[in-house]
Amino acid sequence: MQKISTFLATAGAACLSLTAIAQEPMAGIKIGANVYRTTGDQIENNYKVFPFGGVYLGIRGEKMSLVAEGLFTQTRMITGDNFNDIYHSYIQNGKEQVRNAAFDFTELSVPVLLGVKVFPATWLEFGPQFTKVVDMSDKDNILTEVKNVYKESYVSGVVGLKIRLPLHLNVSGRYAFGISDRNNTTVDERWRTQHIQLGIGFGL
């Protein structure tokens, strides 16, 4: 949390610097693919691909930028072979043989990214990403309560590149790594997320 506070203070200082020099507002829509996985001992660790979409808003100076995005996406967690042995107290009666059970989530992510121009039309972006799980689906009714197993929000770190193109277009690629533990149970196992996001934006 201290690192996030430090970044926000730095981003605030950068924003004040941007307001003192020539600047350009940024606003637009963004879509893309989110290559995602959650790592843990008792869950499947394979990557899965989901689409994402949303909007962005920010300001850009000659050498620096500050942008916030609001992105909706889907994610999924699949249990491993021994999930029921370790998490049996969270599983409903009659569902003891749990294997490859899937839990789907709708998430709203808000990355707040500081950008530094490294090449003509190319920006290095980095910062925190705050994610809220707005819907949890346990369609097979495996768990007594999904939110008792899976946290409803988490924080990630983000680093990536964005390239400006003609016709108000831009393309971006970034890596988001989980900082928060997403396991909400009393079991001593950490669940971390990893995202590889490829997107295309259109400035309004």
**Contact criterion met (CB below 8 Å) for 140 and 92:** no
**Stretch 24-46: mean pLDDT:** 95
| Block residue for tokens 């307001």 | 19
Domain ranges of the chain: 2-203
* Position 85 pLDDT exceeds 80: yes
Return contacts of 96-101, CB within 8 angstroms, 24+ apart: 98/142, 100/44, 101/140, 101/142
Q: Fold for 2-203, please state it.
A: Porin (2.40.160)
What pTM did the predictor assign?
Answer: 0.86
- Tens of pLDDT, residue by residue over 121-157, are 999 999 999 999 999 999 888 999 999 999 999 999 9
Span 52-68, pLDDT tens digits: 999 999 999 999 999 99
* pLDDT at 19 (0 to 100): 46
| Each residue's pLDDT tens digit, 87-128 | 989 998 887 667 788 999 999 999 999 999 999 999 999 999
- Per-chain mean pLDDT for the chain: 89
pLDDT confidence bin for 82, thresholds 50/70/90? confident
Residue 20 is predicted with a pLDDT of: 45
Res. 197: pLDDT tops 60:
yes
